[in-house]
Structure 1
Amino acid sequence: MLIKTVNGKTPSIPEDCYVAENATIIGDVSFGENCSVWFNAVIRGDVNFIKFGNKVNIQDGAVIHCTYQKHATVVGNNVSIGHNAIVHGCTIHDNVLIGMGAIVMDNCVVESNSIVAAGAVITQNTVVGAGTIWAGVPAKKVKDIDQSDFAGEIERISNNYVMYSGWLKEDK
């Protein structure tokens, strides 16, 4: 893994987090508890800060960045950022799934209990309302989530990634 200080800012990673051997984390980046950063993920807090809550998983090949002098990136609790997703200069609230290959652009807000579908592009300044699913390019709301069906699903995924990372920690 490459953990690098930039402009006097060093990533803050609790001991219970898992970081894959070839992940890159630089600059002003802080993690909550039980997070995981998977293979080939890049998290660059070089031009602004990036803050993650608890039980966030950044899956293989994802890129997390921020916008110079404009937009930090803030991610809440129980968030899954799918394989090869891009999250840039935005705010993601709690219990959110960002699908594989999705892009969330500058100054967007993804509210709690929402899903950004695989391959979706959330364009600059968009607000993804709580309890909704967005899909397409550019992404649009496709449906409201029935909270009775949704209850616990995002947390289940977050908990699974805590379990998966535990397997790799055990095999050191």
Structure 2
Amino acid sequence: MEGVTIVPFNGKTPRIDPSAFVAPGVRLIGDIEIGPEASIWYNCVLRGDVNYIRIGARSNIQDGTVIHCDSGRTGTGGYPTIIGEDALVGHMAMLHGTTVKDRGFVGLGAIAMDGTVIESGGMLAAGGMLTPHKTIGPNEMWGGRPARLMRTLTEEQVAGNLMGVAGYMMLAKAHKAEITGC
């Protein structure tokens, strides 16, 4: 993976499925697992040094996103960052000790903090800040700083998010082919 920085930390080395796309400029540190057909885009930083990070199949982490986890030094036991399958994480998002379940959506520039959960089909809108220990329910859209429930997504909107996942999978394959020549 030319141009990708992979740093083992504390005996843990990032594990990347061969079908995943990891763009040049990405930094992967420590206990990270990237699933099949997932994509990690240009200039993202994933740092699994004090807990672990998991990215599920077909999920995409868009350009400039920062993902970290919580060590538990406050007595909580810590929070890993777990992103399920078919999830979208928009450009310049910041995820810290959060769980994004299958088909969850994190908008451009959004922030999700320790102990937060975005349930299946849930959406944190662009620029939203989900404060610690809050949960976005299935198919709910939250936005603002701090984020609050705005409305329930329609079936068409949820389906549109899944179309975004498919589009990013195709785009990742095209970028991978350009970069690797295969």
- Normalising TM by the smaller chain, what interval? over 0.9
Q: Distance in 1 between matches of 2:145 and 2:162?
A: 27
Q: Distance in 1 between matches of 2:103 and 2:158?
A: 10
Task: Structure 2: state its 5+ residue gaps.
Answer: 73-77
Partner of 1:19: 22
What TM-score, normalized by structure 2, do the two folds share? 0.91
Contact 2:139 2:158 (C-alpha < 8 Å) held by counterparts: no
Partner of 2:168: 161
Equivalent of 1:35 in 34, 38, 41: 38
Partner of 1:79: 87
Task: State the aligned residue count.
Answer: 171
Q: Distance in 2 between matches of 1:59 and 1:19?
A: 11
Partner of 1:128: 136
Shift of 1:21: 0.9
Question: Aligned to 2:15, what secondary structure does the other structure show?
Answer: coil
What TM-score, normalized by structure 1, do the two folds share? 0.96
Contact 1:78 1:154 (C-alpha < 8 Å) held by counterparts: no
Amino acid corresponding to residue 169 of structure 1 in structure 2: K
Question: Aligned to 1:39, what secondary structure does the other structure show?
Answer: coil
Amino acid corresponding to residue 87 of structure 2 in structure 1: V
Deviations 1:81-122 (A, max 9, x none): 111000110111111110000000000011011111100000
Question: Aligned to 1:152, what secondary structure does the other structure show?
Answer: helix
Partner of 2:115: 107
Q: CA RMSD in A?
A: 0.9
Equivalent of 1:142 in 146, 150, 171: 150
Deviations 1:39-86 (A, max 9, x none): 110000010011111111111100010001311111111111111000
Amino acid corresponding to residue 102 of structure 1 in structure 2: A
Question: Aligned to 2:57, what secondary structure does the other structure show?
Answer: coil
Q: Distance in 1 between matches of 2:117 and 2:140?
A: 13
Contact 1:57 1:79 (C-alpha < 8 Å) held by counterparts: yes
Indicate yes or no: 2:66 matched with 1:59: no
Report runs of 4+ in structure 1 exceeding 3 Å deviation.
none
Q: Distance in 2 between matches of 1:52 and 1:60?
A: 15
Amino acid corresponding to residue 144 of structure 2 in structure 1: G
Shift of 1:151: 4.3
Shift of 1:31: 1.4
Q: Distance in 2 between matches of 1:161 and 1:24?
A: 20
Report the identity percentage. Answer: 37
